[in-house]
Amino acid sequence: MQRKYSLKKNAQFKYVRRRGTSSGSHELVLLYVPGRTLKIGFSVGKKLGCAVERNRIKRRLRALCMPLLPRMKKGLYVFIAREPAVRAGFDKLGRAVNNTLCRQNLLLPEVLPSPEGERPQC
Give the β-pairing of 75-81 and 38-43: parallel
Choose among 7, 94, 79: nearest CA to 44. 79
What average pLDDT does this structure show over 87-113?
A: 89
- pLDDT tens for each residue of 14-72: 999 999 999 999 999 999 999 999 999 999 999 999 999 999 999 999 999 999 999 99
* Higher-scoring residue by pLDDT: 42, 121: 42
Separation between Cα atoms, residue 66 and residue 81, nearest integer Å: 17
**CATH number corresponding to 23-103:** 3.30.230.10
Quote the pTM value: 0.87
> Which phi and psi (to 5°) does residue 43 adopt?
-125, 125
Kindly state the percentage of the chain with pLDDT values over 70. Answer: 90
Separation between Cα atoms, residue 37 and residue 49, nearest integer Å: 32
Domain limits, the chain: 23-103
Choose among 92, 72, 116: nearest CA to 25. 92
